[in-house]
Amino acid sequence: MNKNTQNLYHQGVSIWLDNITRKILKDETLKRYITELGITGLTSNPTIFDNAIAGSDDYDSAIKKLGKADLSDEEVFFQLAIEDIQQAADLFLPVYEKTNGLDGFVSIEVSPLLAYDTDKTVEAAKEIYQKVNRPNAFIKIPGTAEGLPAVEKVIEEGIPVNITLLFSAEQYINAAEAWLRGVEARAEKGLNPDVKSVASVFVSRWDKAVADKVSKALRNNVGIAVMQKTYVAYLKFLQSAKVQKLMNQGVFPQRLLWASTGTKDPSASDILYVKELIAPFTVNTMPENTLMAFADHGEADKAMSRSDAAADTIFQKMMACSINHKLLAAQLQSEGAEAFIQSWNHLMETINNKRSQL
């Protein structure tokens, strides 16, 4: 086992891979990451699948076969994606069982075209989860105003959810409360209330967004400050009476997941958003190059503070630069949803073109 990733895991951080391709499944790279690097889960999104399918011929034979059926391009994609997710989920099943169902999850997202449609998101989540048919599968639903009511309903149905596209402590709390309401509804019905969930908060996009608006001293520090604020909110949520009452009924609390942890600035540390976000009972999902960098020269000796005093100082400096963090968080969420829609549309074009060519 790699000592750097092992040290990170011993600090209480679950290491997930933010990538999936048919290639890393077939050549057993993913299996090796599990055994040698100790990764305990995996996330995917439309951009990842777009890159995997458009950038290789690994899916061509399957697309050719499915292309003969009377399926839409979206239906072809979900068949391809679900096959990958099922294989990955099977690889992580021992982790899922070893951790009593807390860890070992893989994530698949509903169509980003549904980000602002509550009812269709619920329908899609139920359909995808049924088709994947694995206990350790997360359905990813964006934490938009329309997505959160869907989260609540899907949790109430007993479906594990990865709430994505969160950018601030305020957005995180809204997502956590949506999970809580869904779990409480199950408890009131006498159902098993233990429905797993993670809340995925995006880091690096903050620093990219403010790079030209802040002083050199603040660059690559804003994202960490926002996450520090979010972490303090997370600790308060875990300590709340409502959560602890449910824990007494056998519920594992929702975990905080650090997403978008690949460093965007080439002048900054390539493991910046890993070494600065070390906190127990959290998940860090890393792009492949970040995972390999941390395995090579990772540092896991500095735990996050449980105070947001330092973050307050950063926030004051942001305000002095005329940066309203709440407005920017809303903007980043909107831009993130739009970026996934663009990737989705490109993905559908790729599948359509390959069907025609093959």
Over residues 313-323, mean pLDDT:
95
For residue 287, the enclosing domain spans 3-357
User: Whose CA is closest to 140, among 168, 170, 166, 103?
Assistant: 166
At position 187, the amino acid (one-letter code) is A
Q: How far is CA 83 from the centre of its chain?
A: 19
Query: What is the average pLDDT score of the chain?
Result: 97
**Token pair listed for 346:** 């490109």
Looking at residue 69, its pLDDT comes to 85
For the chain, percent of residues with pLDDT exceeding 90: 97
Looking at residue 67, its pLDDT comes to 79
Looking at residue 164, its pLDDT comes to 98
pLDDT at 228 > cutoff 90: yes
Looking at residue 87, its pLDDT comes to 98
Looking at residue 3, its pLDDT comes to 97
pLDDT at 39 > cutoff 90: yes
DSSP state at residue 114? G
Q: What is the pTM of this model?
A: 0.97
Number of domains in the chain: 1
Q: Coil, strand or helix: which one is 212?
A: coil
Q: What pLDDT, in 10s, does the model give residues 43-90?
A: 999 999 999 999 999 999 999 999 788 899 999 999 999 999 999 999
Per-position DSSP letters for 247-307, written without gaps between them: HTTTPPPPEEEEE--S---TTS-TTHHHHT---TTEEEEE-HHHHHHHHHH-----PPPS-
Contacts of 356 (CB under 8 A, 6+ apart): none
Cβ atoms 260, 204 nearer than 8 A: yes
Q: Coil, strand or helix: which one is 323?
A: coil
For the chain, percent of residues with pLDDT exceeding 70: 100
pLDDT at 358 > cutoff 90: no
Q: Which of 140, 196, 229, 264 is catalytic?
A: 140
Say which CATH number the domain at 61 has: 3.20.20.70
Cβ atoms 137, 89 nearer than 8 A: yes
Q: Which residues pair with 285 in a beta bridge?
A: 16
Looking at residue 194, its pLDDT comes to 98
pLDDT at 129 > cutoff 90: yes
How many residues belong to the chain?
358
Measure the CA–CA gap between 233 and 243, rounded to whole angstroms: 13
The CA distances from residue 294 to 77, 119, 263, 290, 343, in Å, are 32, 41, 12, 6, 28
Cβ atoms 274, 248 nearer than 8 A: no
Looking at residue 289, its pLDDT comes to 98
- 140 catalytic? Reply is yes
Q: What pLDDT, in 10s, does the model give residues 148-175?
A: 999 999 999 999 999 999 999 999 999 9
Over residues 133-159, mean pLDDT:
98
Cβ atoms 8, 40 nearer than 8 A: no
Q: What pLDDT, in 10s, does the model give residues 193-212?
A: 999 999 999 999 999 999 99
Looking at residue 80, its pLDDT comes to 97
